[in-house]
Chains A and B, each alone.
Chain A
Amino acid sequence: MDTPFFNPKLHGRRFEDHSIPVELLEDFNLYEELLFKVAKWVYYEQHDKMKVPKGFGHGVSLKLVAVSEGSAIANIVLAATSFMVGDLDTFPIFETARNKIEEVIDRADKGEEFTDILPPEFLTYFNKIGRRLHDDESISFSNNTTRPARLSNRSRKTLVLSAPNADNVSVATSFRGKVSSFDKAEKSCTVISPQGEKVLIKFGNDYSDIFLNAFSNYESGQKVLVRGIGQFNKSDKLTSMEVDSVTFLDAMDVPSRLDEFMKYKVGWFNGEGEAFNEAGITWLSTMFDEYFQAGLLLPYTFPTPNGEIQFEWKKQDSPHDLTAYVNLQKKKTYVNYQNMKNDDDFLDLEIDLDQEKGWLQLMNLVSKYFKA
Protein backbone atom coordinates (compact mmCIF):
# COMPACT_ATOMS: atom_id res chain seq x y z
CA MET A 1 0.00 0.00 0.00
CA ASP A 2 1.70 3.26 -1.19
CA THR A 3 0.15 6.44 0.18
CA PRO A 4 1.28 9.85 -1.09
CA PHE A 5 3.04 11.41 1.86
CA PHE A 6 4.91 14.57 0.94
CA ASN A 7 6.56 16.30 -2.01
CA PRO A 8 9.70 18.15 -0.92
CA LYS A 9 10.78 20.74 -3.43
CA LEU A 10 14.46 21.48 -4.00
CA HIS A 11 15.34 25.09 -4.81
CA GLY A 12 18.55 26.18 -6.47
CA ARG A 13 20.39 26.32 -9.78
CA ARG A 14 21.60 22.75 -9.36
CA PHE A 15 18.04 21.46 -9.53
CA GLU A 16 16.76 23.49 -12.47
CA ASP A 17 17.11 20.52 -14.79
CA HIS A 18 14.50 18.76 -12.61
CA SER A 19 16.96 16.22 -11.27
CA ILE A 20 18.20 15.48 -7.77
CA PRO A 21 21.93 14.87 -7.24
CA VAL A 22 22.52 11.43 -5.76
CA GLU A 23 24.38 12.92 -2.80
CA LEU A 24 21.13 14.54 -1.64
CA LEU A 25 19.20 11.26 -1.61
CA GLU A 26 21.00 10.55 1.66
CA ASP A 27 18.93 13.39 3.15
CA PHE A 28 15.70 11.50 2.51
CA ASN A 29 17.18 8.40 4.12
CA LEU A 30 18.00 10.45 7.21
CA TYR A 31 14.59 12.12 7.09
CA GLU A 32 12.99 8.66 7.19
CA GLU A 33 15.06 7.82 10.27
CA LEU A 34 13.94 11.06 11.94
CA LEU A 35 10.32 10.50 10.91
CA PHE A 36 10.26 7.10 12.61
CA LYS A 37 11.80 8.45 15.81
CA VAL A 38 9.35 11.35 15.93
CA ALA A 39 6.44 8.99 15.18
CA LYS A 40 7.38 6.87 18.19
CA TRP A 41 7.59 9.99 20.34
CA VAL A 42 4.14 11.10 19.07
CA TYR A 43 2.76 7.70 20.10
CA TYR A 44 4.30 8.08 23.57
CA GLU A 45 2.76 11.53 23.93
CA GLN A 46 -0.68 10.54 22.61
CA HIS A 47 -0.96 7.31 24.57
CA ASP A 48 1.06 8.18 27.65
CA LYS A 49 3.28 5.16 27.04
CA MET A 50 7.02 4.64 27.08
CA LYS A 51 7.12 1.87 24.49
CA VAL A 52 5.46 1.39 21.11
CA PRO A 53 3.42 -1.78 20.41
CA LYS A 54 5.17 -4.69 18.72
CA GLY A 55 5.17 -4.27 14.97
CA PHE A 56 4.97 -0.48 15.08
CA GLY A 57 6.57 0.79 11.83
CA HIS A 58 7.34 -2.73 10.68
CA GLY A 59 7.30 -2.88 6.88
CA VAL A 60 6.78 0.89 6.66
CA SER A 61 9.16 2.95 4.55
CA LEU A 62 9.42 6.07 2.48
CA LYS A 63 9.80 5.62 -1.26
CA LEU A 64 10.77 8.11 -3.92
CA VAL A 65 8.39 7.35 -6.79
CA ALA A 66 9.03 10.27 -9.14
CA VAL A 67 10.75 13.62 -9.62
CA SER A 68 8.30 16.21 -10.97
CA GLU A 69 9.13 19.29 -12.96
CA GLY A 70 9.15 22.78 -11.51
CA SER A 71 12.64 22.92 -10.06
CA ALA A 72 12.98 19.39 -8.62
CA ILE A 73 10.02 18.03 -6.69
CA ALA A 74 10.47 14.63 -5.10
CA ASN A 75 7.23 12.67 -4.97
CA ILE A 76 7.50 10.53 -1.85
CA VAL A 77 5.05 7.95 -0.63
CA LEU A 78 4.80 6.18 2.70
CA ALA A 79 4.67 2.53 1.80
CA ALA A 80 3.50 -0.34 3.99
CA THR A 81 1.90 -3.73 3.69
CA SER A 82 -0.43 -2.41 6.37
CA PHE A 83 -0.45 0.57 8.72
CA MET A 84 -2.59 -1.33 11.24
CA VAL A 85 -0.92 -2.63 14.40
CA GLY A 86 -3.72 -4.51 16.09
CA ASP A 87 -6.51 -1.94 16.32
CA LEU A 88 -4.09 0.97 16.03
CA ASP A 89 -3.97 2.81 12.71
CA THR A 90 -0.39 4.16 12.65
CA PHE A 91 -0.74 6.24 9.46
CA PRO A 92 -2.17 9.31 11.31
CA ILE A 93 0.73 9.02 13.76
CA PHE A 94 3.23 9.24 10.90
CA GLU A 95 1.28 12.19 9.49
CA THR A 96 1.47 13.97 12.86
CA ALA A 97 5.20 13.27 13.00
CA ARG A 98 5.63 14.68 9.50
CA ASN A 99 3.65 17.80 10.45
CA LYS A 100 5.72 18.38 13.58
CA ILE A 101 8.97 18.14 11.59
CA GLU A 102 7.58 20.62 9.04
CA GLU A 103 6.47 22.97 11.81
CA VAL A 104 9.86 23.02 13.53
CA ILE A 105 11.66 23.70 10.23
CA ASP A 106 9.23 26.43 9.25
CA ARG A 107 9.45 28.22 12.60
CA ALA A 108 13.25 28.04 12.61
CA ASP A 109 13.32 29.43 9.08
CA LYS A 110 11.07 32.36 10.10
CA GLY A 111 12.96 33.10 13.31
CA GLU A 112 10.03 32.01 15.45
CA GLU A 113 10.19 29.99 18.66
CA PHE A 114 10.49 26.29 17.82
CA THR A 115 12.10 24.55 20.80
CA ASP A 116 8.69 23.58 22.26
CA ILE A 117 7.65 21.43 19.30
CA LEU A 118 10.07 18.49 19.43
CA PRO A 119 12.54 17.14 22.01
CA PRO A 120 15.94 18.77 21.45
CA GLU A 121 17.73 15.51 20.67
CA PHE A 122 15.77 15.28 17.41
CA LEU A 123 17.15 18.62 16.23
CA THR A 124 20.64 17.15 15.89
CA TYR A 125 19.35 15.25 12.86
CA PHE A 126 19.49 18.51 10.96
CA ASN A 127 23.25 18.41 11.30
CA LYS A 128 23.13 15.70 8.67
CA ILE A 129 19.87 16.39 6.80
CA GLY A 130 20.70 19.08 4.25
CA ARG A 131 24.42 19.25 5.00
CA ARG A 132 25.24 19.00 1.31
CA LEU A 133 23.03 21.98 0.38
CA HIS A 134 24.88 24.91 -1.11
CA ASP A 135 24.29 28.35 0.39
CA ASP A 136 21.89 29.33 -2.42
CA GLU A 137 19.83 26.11 -2.06
CA SER A 138 16.96 24.94 0.10
CA ILE A 139 14.39 22.18 0.46
CA SER A 140 10.72 23.06 1.09
CA PHE A 141 9.19 20.19 3.02
CA SER A 142 5.60 21.44 2.77
CA ASN A 143 3.37 22.49 -0.13
CA ASN A 144 1.75 25.13 2.09
CA THR A 145 2.76 28.40 0.46
CA THR A 146 2.56 30.39 3.70
CA ARG A 147 4.30 27.74 5.81
CA PRO A 148 6.64 26.02 3.31
CA ALA A 149 9.02 24.64 5.96
CA ARG A 150 12.10 25.68 4.04
CA LEU A 151 15.34 24.02 5.14
CA SER A 152 18.44 25.96 4.13
CA ASN A 153 21.91 26.23 5.62
CA ARG A 154 20.67 29.22 7.59
CA SER A 155 17.69 27.42 9.14
CA ARG A 156 19.81 24.28 9.66
CA LYS A 157 22.29 26.26 11.72
CA THR A 158 19.44 27.68 13.81
CA LEU A 159 17.99 24.21 14.42
CA VAL A 160 21.26 22.42 15.18
CA LEU A 161 22.81 25.05 17.41
CA SER A 162 19.66 25.28 19.54
CA ALA A 163 20.23 21.72 20.82
CA PRO A 164 21.99 21.45 24.20
CA ASN A 165 25.76 21.06 23.94
CA ALA A 166 25.69 21.73 20.21
CA ASP A 167 28.74 23.78 19.26
CA ASN A 168 29.09 23.16 15.55
CA VAL A 169 26.97 22.59 12.48
CA SER A 170 28.08 20.61 9.40
CA VAL A 171 27.84 22.31 6.04
CA ALA A 172 29.24 21.36 2.64
CA THR A 173 31.78 24.02 1.87
CA SER A 174 35.04 24.84 0.16
CA PHE A 175 38.12 26.67 1.37
CA ARG A 176 41.14 28.13 -0.41
CA GLY A 177 44.54 28.85 1.02
CA LYS A 178 48.13 27.79 1.61
CA VAL A 179 49.09 24.77 3.71
CA SER A 180 50.91 26.26 6.66
CA SER A 181 51.37 23.13 8.78
CA PHE A 182 51.28 19.36 8.23
CA ASP A 183 50.90 16.54 10.79
CA LYS A 184 51.68 13.06 9.43
CA ALA A 185 50.64 11.25 12.60
CA GLU A 186 47.27 12.98 12.84
CA LYS A 187 46.72 12.98 9.06
CA SER A 188 45.79 16.63 9.28
CA CYS A 189 47.05 19.99 8.15
CA THR A 190 46.24 23.66 8.53
CA VAL A 191 45.16 25.72 5.55
CA ILE A 192 45.44 29.50 5.91
CA SER A 193 43.46 31.92 3.75
CA PRO A 194 44.82 35.25 2.42
CA GLN A 195 42.95 36.98 5.28
CA GLY A 196 44.74 34.81 7.82
CA GLU A 197 41.80 32.55 8.64
CA LYS A 198 43.07 29.07 9.66
CA VAL A 199 41.14 25.84 9.21
CA LEU A 200 42.11 22.39 10.45
CA ILE A 201 41.81 19.90 7.60
CA LYS A 202 41.51 16.18 8.28
CA PHE A 203 42.44 13.98 5.35
CA GLY A 204 42.77 10.27 4.74
CA ASN A 205 45.56 8.50 2.91
CA ASP A 206 44.21 9.63 -0.44
CA TYR A 207 45.18 13.27 -0.20
CA SER A 208 48.26 13.39 1.99
CA ASP A 209 50.61 13.70 -1.02
CA ILE A 210 48.79 16.76 -2.33
CA PHE A 211 48.74 18.51 1.03
CA LEU A 212 52.40 17.61 1.68
CA ASN A 213 53.38 19.00 -1.72
CA ALA A 214 51.50 22.23 -1.06
CA PHE A 215 53.08 22.49 2.40
CA SER A 216 56.53 22.07 0.85
CA ASN A 217 55.74 24.92 -1.53
CA TYR A 218 54.27 27.25 1.10
CA GLU A 219 56.93 29.92 0.59
CA SER A 220 56.40 29.98 -3.16
CA GLY A 221 52.70 30.60 -2.56
CA GLN A 222 51.15 27.32 -3.70
CA LYS A 223 47.46 27.34 -2.80
CA VAL A 224 44.92 24.54 -2.67
CA LEU A 225 41.14 24.33 -2.98
CA VAL A 226 39.60 21.98 -0.41
CA ARG A 227 36.00 20.77 -0.74
CA GLY A 228 34.24 18.79 1.94
CA ILE A 229 32.04 18.96 5.03
CA GLY A 230 32.97 21.89 7.22
CA GLN A 231 32.22 22.45 10.89
CA PHE A 232 30.91 25.97 11.58
CA ASN A 233 30.76 27.23 15.16
CA LYS A 234 28.15 29.51 16.73
CA SER A 235 29.97 32.56 15.34
CA ASP A 236 29.62 31.05 11.88
CA LYS A 237 33.38 30.54 11.69
CA LEU A 238 34.70 27.52 9.81
CA THR A 239 36.87 25.62 12.28
CA SER A 240 37.62 22.29 10.59
CA MET A 241 36.84 20.24 7.50
CA GLU A 242 36.68 16.64 6.37
CA VAL A 243 37.99 16.40 2.85
CA ASP A 244 35.97 15.22 -0.15
CA SER A 245 38.48 16.55 -2.66
CA VAL A 246 41.53 18.80 -2.90
CA THR A 247 43.16 20.40 -5.93
CA PHE A 248 46.16 22.62 -6.54
CA LEU A 249 45.18 26.12 -7.53
CA ASP A 250 46.67 28.00 -10.46
CA ALA A 251 48.84 30.96 -9.44
CA MET A 252 46.27 33.12 -11.22
CA ASP A 253 43.26 31.59 -9.43
CA VAL A 254 40.61 34.30 -9.45
CA PRO A 255 38.67 33.51 -6.23
CA SER A 256 41.97 33.41 -4.31
CA ARG A 257 42.90 36.80 -5.71
CA LEU A 258 39.46 38.20 -4.87
CA ASP A 259 39.87 36.90 -1.31
CA GLU A 260 42.92 39.16 -0.93
CA PHE A 261 40.77 42.25 -1.46
CA MET A 262 38.49 41.40 1.46
CA LYS A 263 41.07 42.79 3.87
CA TYR A 264 41.25 46.17 2.11
CA LYS A 265 39.86 48.89 4.34
CA VAL A 266 38.52 52.30 3.31
CA GLY A 267 41.42 54.40 2.03
CA TRP A 268 43.49 51.37 0.93
CA PHE A 269 44.64 53.18 -2.21
CA ASN A 270 46.85 55.84 -0.65
CA GLY A 271 43.90 57.49 1.06
CA GLU A 272 41.44 56.73 -1.70
CA GLY A 273 39.66 53.42 -2.13
CA GLU A 274 36.38 51.90 -0.93
CA ALA A 275 36.27 48.70 1.07
CA PHE A 276 34.96 45.59 -0.66
CA ASN A 277 31.65 44.07 0.27
CA GLU A 278 31.98 40.40 1.28
CA ALA A 279 28.67 39.45 -0.32
CA GLY A 280 29.75 41.02 -3.60
CA ILE A 281 33.13 39.29 -3.60
CA THR A 282 31.48 35.95 -2.75
CA TRP A 283 28.96 36.42 -5.55
CA LEU A 284 31.68 37.17 -8.09
CA SER A 285 33.88 34.25 -6.95
CA THR A 286 30.97 31.83 -7.16
CA MET A 287 29.84 33.01 -10.56
CA PHE A 288 33.36 33.08 -11.98
CA ASP A 289 33.97 29.53 -10.79
CA GLU A 290 30.70 28.42 -12.32
CA TYR A 291 30.97 30.08 -15.72
CA PHE A 292 34.67 30.33 -16.50
CA GLN A 293 35.41 27.75 -19.16
CA ALA A 294 38.35 25.38 -19.03
CA GLY A 295 40.85 25.99 -21.80
CA LEU A 296 40.73 29.77 -21.52
CA LEU A 297 43.42 32.04 -20.16
CA LEU A 298 42.75 33.20 -16.62
CA PRO A 299 42.64 36.99 -16.26
CA TYR A 300 44.76 39.20 -14.06
CA THR A 301 42.51 40.52 -11.30
CA PHE A 302 42.77 43.93 -9.66
CA PRO A 303 40.81 46.12 -7.28
CA THR A 304 39.74 49.61 -8.35
CA PRO A 305 39.54 52.60 -5.99
CA ASN A 306 35.79 52.91 -6.55
CA GLY A 307 35.12 49.36 -5.28
CA GLU A 308 34.92 47.52 -8.58
CA ILE A 309 36.92 44.53 -9.75
CA GLN A 310 38.96 44.72 -12.94
CA PHE A 311 39.67 41.59 -14.95
CA GLU A 312 42.38 42.06 -17.53
CA TRP A 313 43.19 39.49 -20.18
CA LYS A 314 46.46 39.90 -21.99
CA LYS A 315 48.66 37.36 -23.70
CA GLN A 316 52.36 37.72 -24.46
CA ASP A 317 53.10 38.34 -28.15
CA SER A 318 49.42 38.89 -28.87
CA PRO A 319 47.83 42.23 -29.83
CA HIS A 320 44.60 41.57 -27.93
CA ASP A 321 43.76 43.34 -24.67
CA LEU A 322 40.43 42.83 -22.91
CA THR A 323 39.36 44.44 -19.65
CA ALA A 324 36.13 43.95 -17.73
CA TYR A 325 35.24 46.21 -14.80
CA VAL A 326 32.66 44.50 -12.58
CA ASN A 327 30.33 46.57 -10.42
CA LEU A 328 29.63 44.26 -7.47
CA GLN A 329 26.42 46.02 -6.42
CA LYS A 330 24.80 46.33 -9.84
CA LYS A 331 26.28 43.01 -11.06
CA LYS A 332 27.13 44.58 -14.40
CA THR A 333 30.43 44.83 -16.20
CA TYR A 334 31.89 47.42 -18.55
CA VAL A 335 33.97 45.59 -21.15
CA ASN A 336 36.68 47.19 -23.29
CA TYR A 337 38.49 45.27 -25.99
CA GLN A 338 41.36 46.77 -27.95
CA ASN A 339 43.55 45.37 -30.70
CA MET A 340 46.81 47.06 -29.76
CA LYS A 341 48.02 46.88 -33.38
CA ASN A 342 44.86 48.29 -34.97
CA ASP A 343 43.23 51.36 -33.44
CA ASP A 344 40.03 50.76 -35.40
CA ASP A 345 39.52 47.29 -33.95
CA PHE A 346 37.94 47.87 -30.55
CA LEU A 347 34.78 47.18 -28.59
CA ASP A 348 33.00 48.93 -25.70
CA LEU A 349 29.95 47.36 -24.14
CA GLU A 350 28.12 46.75 -20.90
CA ILE A 351 27.06 43.25 -19.92
CA ASP A 352 24.57 42.23 -17.23
CA LEU A 353 26.26 39.55 -15.13
CA ASP A 354 23.17 38.92 -13.03
CA GLN A 355 22.02 36.56 -15.75
CA GLU A 356 23.59 33.46 -17.22
CA LYS A 357 23.47 34.87 -20.75
CA GLY A 358 25.67 37.74 -19.62
CA TRP A 359 28.37 35.38 -18.45
CA LEU A 360 28.11 33.35 -21.63
CA GLN A 361 28.51 36.55 -23.64
CA LEU A 362 31.63 37.49 -21.69
CA MET A 363 33.09 34.01 -22.04
CA ASN A 364 32.44 34.05 -25.79
CA LEU A 365 34.48 37.24 -26.04
CA VAL A 366 37.29 35.79 -23.95
CA SER A 367 37.34 32.56 -25.94
CA LYS A 368 37.63 34.55 -29.18
CA TYR A 369 41.05 35.92 -28.21
CA PHE A 370 42.38 34.16 -25.15
CA LYS A 371 42.47 30.42 -25.46
CA ALA A 372 45.06 28.98 -23.07
Chain B
Amino acid sequence: MTLKSETLLYRQVHPSWVQNGGVSNQAFVTSQTFKPTPKDQNKLSMYDGDQYSAQESYEHYSEKLTSAGVLGVTVKEFQLEELPCESDDVTFQGHVLVDYGDHTKGTIERKSKKIRDIAIQRGWVYIP
Protein backbone atom coordinates (compact mmCIF):
# COMPACT_ATOMS: atom_id res chain seq x y z
CA MET B 1 0.00 0.00 0.00
CA THR B 2 1.37 3.44 -0.89
CA LEU B 3 1.59 5.80 2.03
CA LYS B 4 0.25 9.33 1.73
CA SER B 5 2.61 12.11 2.70
CA GLU B 6 0.19 13.50 5.29
CA THR B 7 -0.29 10.12 6.96
CA LEU B 8 0.66 10.24 10.62
CA LEU B 9 2.86 7.34 11.67
CA TYR B 10 2.85 6.22 15.29
CA ARG B 11 5.89 5.27 17.35
CA GLN B 12 5.63 3.42 20.67
CA VAL B 13 7.88 4.84 23.40
CA HIS B 14 9.51 2.48 25.88
CA PRO B 15 9.08 3.63 29.53
CA SER B 16 12.84 3.63 30.16
CA TRP B 17 13.15 6.20 27.40
CA VAL B 18 11.05 8.76 29.23
CA GLN B 19 12.52 10.72 32.11
CA ASN B 20 10.58 13.05 34.35
CA GLY B 21 12.10 16.01 36.07
CA GLY B 22 13.90 18.98 34.56
CA VAL B 23 12.15 22.14 33.47
CA SER B 24 8.52 22.27 34.65
CA ASN B 25 8.85 18.58 35.51
CA GLN B 26 7.81 17.73 31.95
CA ALA B 27 8.57 14.30 30.62
CA PHE B 28 11.58 14.17 28.31
CA VAL B 29 11.85 11.56 25.58
CA THR B 30 15.25 10.44 24.37
CA SER B 31 16.23 10.83 20.71
CA GLN B 32 16.90 7.05 20.76
CA THR B 33 13.14 6.67 20.32
CA PHE B 34 13.56 7.56 16.66
CA LYS B 35 16.76 5.66 16.04
CA PRO B 36 16.78 2.00 14.92
CA THR B 37 18.14 -0.40 17.55
CA PRO B 38 20.78 -3.03 16.67
CA LYS B 39 18.18 -5.68 15.84
CA ASP B 40 16.20 -3.35 13.55
CA GLN B 41 18.71 -3.49 10.66
CA ASN B 42 18.47 0.26 10.22
CA LYS B 43 14.70 0.30 9.82
CA LEU B 44 12.44 1.96 12.37
CA SER B 45 9.14 0.28 13.13
CA MET B 46 5.97 2.44 13.04
CA TYR B 47 2.19 2.09 12.84
CA ASP B 48 0.21 3.44 9.87
CA GLY B 49 -2.08 6.11 11.29
CA ASP B 50 -4.56 5.55 8.42
CA GLN B 51 -5.15 2.00 9.64
CA TYR B 52 -4.76 2.42 13.38
CA SER B 53 -5.72 5.19 15.74
CA ALA B 54 -3.04 6.12 18.25
CA GLN B 55 -4.88 4.25 21.00
CA GLU B 56 -5.38 1.20 18.79
CA SER B 57 -1.69 1.16 17.97
CA TYR B 58 -0.87 1.24 21.68
CA GLU B 59 -3.31 -1.55 22.46
CA HIS B 60 -2.04 -3.71 19.61
CA TYR B 61 1.58 -3.18 20.68
CA SER B 62 0.88 -3.73 24.37
CA GLU B 63 -0.54 -7.16 23.81
CA LYS B 64 3.02 -8.44 23.94
CA LEU B 65 5.35 -5.47 24.45
CA THR B 66 5.71 -2.46 26.76
CA SER B 67 4.91 1.11 25.79
CA ALA B 68 4.61 4.29 27.85
CA GLY B 69 2.67 6.08 25.14
CA VAL B 70 2.57 7.08 21.50
CA LEU B 71 4.25 9.84 19.51
CA GLY B 72 3.42 10.76 15.91
CA VAL B 73 5.43 11.88 12.87
CA THR B 74 4.07 12.24 9.32
CA VAL B 75 5.44 10.47 6.27
CA LYS B 76 6.33 13.86 4.80
CA GLU B 77 8.28 14.87 7.92
CA PHE B 78 10.35 11.68 7.60
CA GLN B 79 10.81 12.25 3.85
CA LEU B 80 12.10 15.77 4.42
CA GLU B 81 14.89 14.11 6.41
CA GLU B 82 15.60 11.72 3.54
CA LEU B 83 14.07 8.84 5.46
CA PRO B 84 11.76 6.90 3.10
CA CYS B 85 8.72 5.14 4.57
CA GLU B 86 7.35 1.87 3.27
CA SER B 87 4.40 -0.28 4.19
CA ASP B 88 5.31 -3.67 5.60
CA ASP B 89 2.06 -5.60 5.65
CA VAL B 90 4.00 -8.88 5.72
CA THR B 91 4.89 -8.33 9.38
CA PHE B 92 1.33 -7.25 10.13
CA GLN B 93 -1.33 -5.17 8.42
CA GLY B 94 -0.63 -1.49 9.12
CA HIS B 95 3.07 -1.95 9.93
CA VAL B 96 5.43 0.62 8.39
CA LEU B 97 9.21 0.69 8.20
CA VAL B 98 11.24 3.90 8.01
CA ASP B 99 14.54 3.24 6.26
CA TYR B 100 17.61 4.90 7.82
CA GLY B 101 19.65 3.32 5.03
CA ASP B 102 23.41 3.71 4.83
CA HIS B 103 23.59 7.02 6.65
CA THR B 104 26.59 7.47 8.91
CA LYS B 105 26.37 7.12 12.64
CA GLY B 106 26.50 10.90 13.08
CA THR B 107 23.85 11.52 10.43
CA ILE B 108 21.49 8.96 11.96
CA GLU B 109 22.01 10.60 15.33
CA ARG B 110 21.18 14.03 13.95
CA LYS B 111 18.11 12.84 12.08
CA SER B 112 16.78 11.00 15.12
CA LYS B 113 17.09 14.20 17.16
CA LYS B 114 15.20 16.22 14.58
CA ILE B 115 12.42 13.66 14.28
CA ARG B 116 12.14 13.47 18.06
CA ASP B 117 11.81 17.24 18.28
CA ILE B 118 9.10 17.22 15.63
CA ALA B 119 7.17 14.55 17.51
CA ILE B 120 7.48 16.32 20.87
CA GLN B 121 6.37 19.59 19.26
CA ARG B 122 3.22 17.75 18.17
CA GLY B 123 2.72 16.35 21.68
CA TRP B 124 1.86 12.87 22.85
CA VAL B 125 -0.87 11.50 20.60
CA TYR B 126 -1.80 8.87 23.19
CA ILE B 127 -0.88 8.21 26.79
CA PRO B 128 -2.51 5.27 28.62
Taking Cβ atoms with an 8 Å cutoff, the residues of A that contact B are 250-252, 257, 261, 264, 268-272, 300-306, 310, 312, 314-316, 321, 323, 334, 336, 338, 340, 343, 346, 348
Known: A269-B16, A301-B19, A312-B30. 4 other contacts (CB 8 A): A300-B30, A302-B16, A306-B37, A310-B30
List A contacts of B113 (CB < 8 A). 321, 323, 338, 340
Contact of A252 among B22, B38, B106 (CB under 8 A): B22
Min CB distance B126 to A, Å, is 18
We find that the number of chain B residues with CB closer than 8 angstroms to chain A is 25
Give the residue name and chain of the B residue nearest to A251 (CB).
Answer: B21
> A321–B20 Cα gap in the complex (Å)?
18
Min CB distance A64 to B, Å, is 47
> A340–B117 Cα gap in the complex (Å)?
9
Taking Cβ atoms with an 8 Å cutoff, the residues of B that contact A are 14, 16-17, 19-23, 25, 28, 30-32, 37-39, 65-66, 105-106, 109-110, 113-114, 117
> A304–B114 Cα gap in the complex (Å)?
19
> A251–B25 Cα gap in the complex (Å)?
9
Contact of A346 among B21, B23, B110 (CB under 8 A): B110
Task: Say whether B28 contacts A314, CB under 8 Å.
Answer: yes
Min CB distance B105 to A, Å, is 7
Min CB distance B32 to A, Å, is 6
List A contacts of B66 (CB < 8 A). 270
Task: Say whether B106 contacts A336, CB under 8 Å.
Answer: yes
Task: Say whether B31 contacts A306, CB under 8 Å.
Answer: no
> A219–B66 Cα gap in the complex (Å)?
24
> A145–B82 Cα gap in the complex (Å)?
63
> A269–B40 Cα gap in the complex (Å)?
13
Task: Say whether B22 contacts A251, CB under 8 Å.
Answer: yes
Give the residue name and chain of the B residue nearest to A264 (CB).
Answer: B16
Give the residue name and chain of the A residue nearest to B39 (CB).
Answer: A272
Task: Say whether B105 contacts A251, CB under 8 Å.
Answer: no
List B contacts of A305 (CB < 8 A). 37-39
Closest 7 CB pairs of A and B: A251-B21, A348-B106, A336-B109, A270-B65, A302-B30, A252-B21, A305-B37
Of the candidates A252, A302, A348, the one having the most CB atoms from chain B within 10 angstroms of its own CB is A302
List A contacts of B22 (CB < 8 A). 251-252, 300
Contact of B23 among A304, A310, A316, A334 (CB under 8 A): A316
List A contacts of B30 (CB < 8 A). 300, 302, 310, 312
